[in-house]
Chains A and B, each alone.
Chain A
């Protein structure tokens, strides 16, 4: 067993890393919203699911790829992937803002605690998942392969596949952009201010609704990108994938310390690797149990997650 593990160590690690990077992006959706509102955005998993479908719509319906088409190459390939990524991000981002307006805004103004918005977000996610389920006749939808998935390199025994590489590099770029946005821009500063102390932020003339919308937009954009990468890597989707990945990504966010952007990064990576290793040793059916057991242990020893919480490290 151990020998096998060592043989496959690097290929497992690469698989786990690319899964982890998808988790990071979804976890950012949760963590941004939590950092500002101190509320769990329950509909984020369905926003991710819609992102996967947006990707497939671009590849299959706009660029007319079928399962039999030849692979795109060169400029056309990058055009297709770029369009799909941007479209998925925009669809998810806008949807996320709509979710905020429908499920949260009114309740937020009424100061109605955390449970009422949670239930209305659950309602929204049911509406999203069910609409897509009805539109797709409850069937999984396959994504045509636009890109030849060749190996671009070798690291010890493990081949490095191009799609995994794209996922890792693009996620890193998106992550750096996000960090810069939160730390350097005016809107990012406003987001941090609201996260630190909403009342003081309001007194300083910050438009709270605008900041919350922006936070949902950014979270949605990240989640939408995760949808694109998921469709690229696994090449199929269905109306119920949101649930499983959503729970995993949420766990990742908690693991790193929810509300903390860097925490989402490390949490996502740790979870992706952990899941992959656990399914190697114990079989895929036990991976969720391992993940939760680790989560419970981490929270028990470090109640704020591995890297502490809050966008700003200081909590009101």
Chain B
């Protein structure tokens, strides 16, 4: 089968420095220009096209990159990723309405809160085997939602309203309906996350995660402090989720427990696996498609989730490694291990 991932890598590797810069700049320019393409075939029939670009698409991409650190890089199955998203969003909601702090000041606090809860959850949970990690994270996601639903301070089912928009910086104003500004800001966040993951992947942490994913026992025996790096992967993933949450709350101005159901965790997981676990471009592609598709096919409004489910089944049966799988070299090792 035609392998888009290897083809892309080939083109990239055959280029010199100038060519690579040109490709990168071109790609960023195309992505940044997406809000202007509302009138074309890309348009979504019901929802406002530009707001779909912000949520779900860009938000899903950001979260999928974060979850990819946990699942794709180090092979830990996290079914409650939405918890970190919710913690970020509620931090923004509470501090934004109760204090004078603005979004940019709350962003690091929200990230810290998400990371902290990542440690709280990760330290006991990561000692367990993979399948149990899945159920514990799933439980954690539900606990966070239920606590938000029942705690008076968090607004119960009404949630938190009147969350402020980010204050303008560099003369750019964030009106709540100027979606493209939010889109571009998210784009910067996404690029920062990509940069972070790519830098980490080629360093000690990336190698440790790779070894944990392939065989945890062997990694441990070879002297990799597996537990420490598992917690790191978990906490870094949480930080990206928290950042997405802060920004989400600041964009929608209103959050409620219903925005943070298990379905979101599952959707983000689907983005990662659908796009191609472990390969950051695949994950991004998966998130774009799964974020965009339900809105694009809204003309069959009632059955769109049905069609979405069918697409998942058919896709996984045809390409179980996802649309853009990780490098062949890594896949061979995994195959060998399984047989």
Contacts and interface: CB of A to CB of B under 8 A. Distances in A.
A binds B: yes
Interface of A: 38, 40, 102-103, 106-107, 110-120, 122-127, 130-131, 134, 243, 247, 250-251, 254, 258, 285-286, 288-289, 291-293, 295-296, 299-300, 303
Give the top 8 A-B pairs by smallest Cβ distance, nearest first: A123-B312, A126-B309, A292-B139, A112-B320, A120-B316, A123-B313, A116-B320, A127-B309
B186 interface: no
B231 interface: no
Contacts of B310: 123, 127
Chain A interface main SS type: helix
A110 B309 contact: no
B28 interface: no
A123 B129 CA distance: 25
Contact of B269 (A114, A119, A131, A243): A119
Interface in B120-137: 124-125, 127-129, 131-132, 134-136
B277 interface: yes
Given A119-B270, A122-B312, A40 B134 contact: yes
Contacts of B309: 122-127, 130
Nearest to A283: B150
Interface in B139-185: 139-140, 142-143, 146-147, 149-150
A243 B274 CA distance: 22
B321 A112 contact: yes
B11 interface: no
Contacts of A117: 316
B146 A286 contact: yes
Interface in B248-279: 262, 266, 269-270, 273-274, 277
A252 to B, nearest CB: 11
Contacts of A114: 77
A268 to B, nearest CB: 15
A209 to B, nearest CB: 16
A134 B339 contact: no
Main secondary structure of the interface of B (DSSP, over half): helix
Contacts, number: 115
Interface string B299-337: 000110110111111001100110000000000001100
Nearest to B319: A116
Contact of B313 (A112, A120, A130): A120
B138 interface: yes
B338 interface: yes
B135 A251 contact: yes
A116 B338 CA distance: 14
Nearest to A305: B132
B50 to A, nearest CB: 27
16 contacts: A40-B134, A106-B317, A111-B339, A115-B77, A120-B313, A120-B316, A123-B310, A123-B311, A123-B313, A123-B316, A126-B306, A130-B306, A285-B149, A288-B143, A296-B139, A303-B129
B71 interface: yes
A130 B142 contact: no
B28 to A, nearest CB: 30
Contacts of B127: 300, 303
Interface of B: 71, 77, 124-125, 127-129, 131-132, 134-136, 138-140, 142-143, 146-147, 149-150, 262, 266, 269-270, 273-274, 277, 302-303, 305-306, 308-313, 316-317, 320-321, 334-335, 338-339
Nearest to B309: A126
Contacts of A299: 128, 132, 136
Contacts of B131: 38, 40, 258
Given A112-B321, A247-B142, A102 B313 contact: yes
Given A115-B277, A127-B309, A303-B132, A107 B142 contact: no
Nearest to B335: A111
Nearest to B322: A116
B152 to A, nearest CB: 12
A135 to B, nearest CB: 11
A247 B141 CA distance: 12
B302 A116 contact: no
A111 B270 CA distance: 19
A113 B312 contact: no
A119 B312 contact: yes
B147 A295 contact: no
A289 B148 CA distance: 12
Contacts of B125: 296
B339 A254 contact: no
Contact of B303 (A118, A130, A289): A130
Nearest to A253: B135
A126 B312 contact: yes
Nearest to B305: A130
Contact of A300 (B124, B142, B302): B124
Given A127-B310, A285-B146, A296-B125, 7 more contacts: A111-B335, A114-B77, A122-B309, A130-B309, A251-B135, A286-B146, A293-B143
